[in-house]
Structure 1
Amino acid sequence: MIFHQPDNSVGNHSYNAVIYARGTDWEMHFHQNLELIYAISGNLHCNIGNKEEVLGTEDFALCLSNEIHSLHPDSDTVYWVGVFSEDFVPEFAAAVKGKVGEGSRFRCDGAMLPYLRQNLLREEAPDFYLLSSCLYAVCGMYLEQIPLTERHRNESSIMNFILDYIAENYRNRITLKTVADALGYDYFYFSRIFCSVFGMHFNDYLNTYRFNAAVSLLLKTNLPITQVALESGFQSIRTFNDVFRRKTGSAPAEYRKQKKRAEG
């Protein structure tokens, strides 16, 4: 079974990093945020986008947004995983949109690797600007070493196209049936597939996607609350406020004030 990780499908400079040891496996899963993997020692068997690769000591791999992947280490393997939202590296995200890598494994040699070990490849997050610079440096190495090709429908899973469709149309009035019809699937079959893979109903996922878009607009623009709601795809202010209160405990206007006060 392939499962969706909603906690790793949030934007707004979301970042977390963990060091795994002694046989910690991850079965097939996907999430919206990018995932950087580094083999500290031993061998890590990866399946990323249906491509099998083995990371040896000091190898890196990068999973692009919503790319299905699994990780299976040898019993003595130690590896680091950093999951980060695309807004840390927006130019890179734009460069790889709609594309897949012909592989995922690459190296960061020379002076870069000691620099990354000191500043990135640990569980404690560096400050924002240092983190962004490290992530851009690694993504740049990925682009230098991994050829990219356009993603075609017959080469991808249904999940990728569901997510692509939502990303392109979340501002519009869409439903599960809209997506099923657009992708040519029977509605009831499509509904079962969506719930089993995403672990939530379509409207919950769509509202989460719209919520993340709204947070970005609230923090990065001075648009009125009503306009933020409409540009994020919410069809009513009431729904927008309800979703926001469930997720943050605050109304949108108050959330914006709190965040701006915290930023000084």
Structure 2
Amino acid sequence: MTLAAPKINSEINIINRDYVGSRKLNKNQEIVQYLNDSTLRIWYNDQNDDYETHWHNAIEIIMPVEGWYDVTISNETFHINPGEILFIPSGSLHSLHAPETGTRFIFLFDLHFLEKLSGFSSINTILGKPIVIKKETFLPVYDDIYDLFIQMRTEYFSESDFADIMIYSHLLELFSIIAKYRISEMKLSNTRIYKQKEYIDKFNEVLEYIDENYMENLCLESIAYKAGFSKFHFSRLFKQYTNFTFNEYLTHRRIKAASDLLARPDLSITEVSLAVGFVSISTFNRIFRQVNKCTPSEYRRKHDPLHRL
């Protein structure tokens, strides 16, 4: 499925009025150019420029219209074609390679303010790794997903006073569709449907508990016990449900919180480390650098509240 040429051509002038040209990088961090204090950005992009390895705190979604597009995320390359949609996790290192000719839509969203919504923890586990939406792999929901992107794009370029609200409502609907589809495709230990529902509810509670208590000394054994599973059964189910191991998810949540706290000049880096659950500053520095490819000090120096990603 590709966008019909007449529809694209009829909107090209509106789209180009908003198009700003090249994307701006500060070393390997992209400064997302939101407009009018918004927290989202959509481009119609026809450039053939490549972009070296970089990162940003916005989730990026690429939707080719004509021609392919290559994206390398953490050493894994994704070759996407028209009709396919790639989700790039926020904070992940990635590079972009375009063909000589081609067009695509690029969506960037700041999801920080959505994270306190009930149930969003399970959405975050899905968004923590790359997703490729293809018709053959998302057949039952593909058309609904694609149509939601068309609606978001149309709202953005309509310049409506309520465009951001409408776009985020479509985005939440999109996330809900993907999450429900992923859950329906899971085979949680080949259990019956009623048991799968029980497991899903239980793991949603586990994720919410971790998100509320990640700063504490959490361990796999104690969380498995609270959930009513053996350590090994819990580990297997947690990986199936989240696509993360327990320790990977806990680290992911702590580093995400630390990145936010580093924006506060009243907290030292040691205080930030302790606040998110690291008992060793050296461990915190090492893991933060592994995830963000810069030290906490470098991250803090690069942080600009006028361009909060």
TM range (shorter): 0.5 to 0.7
Residue 143 of structure 2 aligns with an amino acid whose one-letter code is: G
- What does the per-residue CA deviation read over 1:10-43, in whole Å, with 9 as the maximum and x for residues that have no partner? xx75111112114232222111121121111211
Correspondence for 1:105:
132
Correspondence for 1:30:
55
- What does the per-residue CA deviation read over 1:42-99, in whole Å, with 9 as the maximum and x for residues that have no partner? 1111123443221111111112221222221222221111111115644475324466
Please state how far the C-alpha of 1:131 moved relative to its aligned partner. 0.6
Which has the larger share of strand?
1
- Aligned partners of 1:48 and 1:70 also within 8 Å: yes
3-state SS of the aligned residue for 2:243?
strand
Determine if the alignment matches structure 1 residue 78 to structure 2 residue 103: yes
Please tell me the root mean square deviation across aligned C-alpha atoms, in Å: 4.8
- What does the per-residue CA deviation read over 1:112-167, in whole Å, with 9 as the maximum and x for residues that have no partner? 53453254268626612211122123333443566741267789xx9997555334
Matches within 5 A, 1:64-213: 64-87=89-112, 89-90=114-115, 91=117, 93-97=120-124, 103-107=130-134, 109-110=142-143, 112-114=145-147, 116-120=149-153, 124=157, 127-144=163-180, 148-150=242-244, 163-167=256-260, 173-175=267-269, 179=273, 181-184=280-283, 197=294, 201-205=298-302, 208=305
Q: Distance in 2 between matches of 1:103 and 1:16?
A: 19
- Aligned partners of 1:89 and 1:135 also within 8 Å: no
3-state SS of the aligned residue for 1:23?
coil
- Aligned partners of 1:106 and 1:145 also within 8 Å: no
| Structure 2: stretches of 5+ with no match in the other structure | 1-25, 135-140, 183-240
The structure-2 alpha-carbon separation of the partners of 1:102 and 1:136, relative to structure 1 and needing over 3 Å to count, comes to same
Please state how far the C-alpha of 1:105 moved relative to its aligned partner. 0.6
Count residues with an aligned counterpart.
Answer: 207
Correspondence for 1:226:
none
- Aligned partners of 2:42 and 2:107 also within 8 Å: yes
Matching residue within 7, 10, 14 for 2:39:
14
3-state SS of the aligned residue for 1:166?
helix
Residue 121 of structure 2 aligns with an amino acid whose one-letter code is: A
The structure-2 alpha-carbon separation of the partners of 1:29 and 1:66, relative to structure 1 and needing over 3 Å to count, comes to same
Greater gyration radius: 2
Q: Distance in 2 between matches of 1:20 and 1:133?
A: 24
Q: Distance in 1 between matches of 2:296 and 2:246?
A: 26
| Structure 1: stretches of 5+ with no match in the other structure | 213-264
| Larger RCO, structures 1/2 (Cα 8 Å, 6+ apart) | 1
Matching residue within 55, 58, 62 for 2:87:
62
Q: Distance in 1 between matches of 2:87 and 2:153?
A: 15
Residue 18 of structure 1 aligns with an amino acid whose one-letter code is: W
Q: Distance in 2 between matches of 1:164 and 1:70?
A: 25
Q: Distance in 1 between matches of 2:178 and 2:48?
A: 26
TM-score scaled to structure 1, two decimals?
Answer: 0.56
Matching residue within 16, 34, 43 for 2:68:
43
Q: Distance in 2 between matches of 1:128 and 1:134?
A: 10
3-state SS of the aligned residue for 1:67?
coil
- Aligned partners of 2:89 and 2:129 also within 8 Å: no
Please state how far the C-alpha of 1:205 moved relative to its aligned partner. 4.7
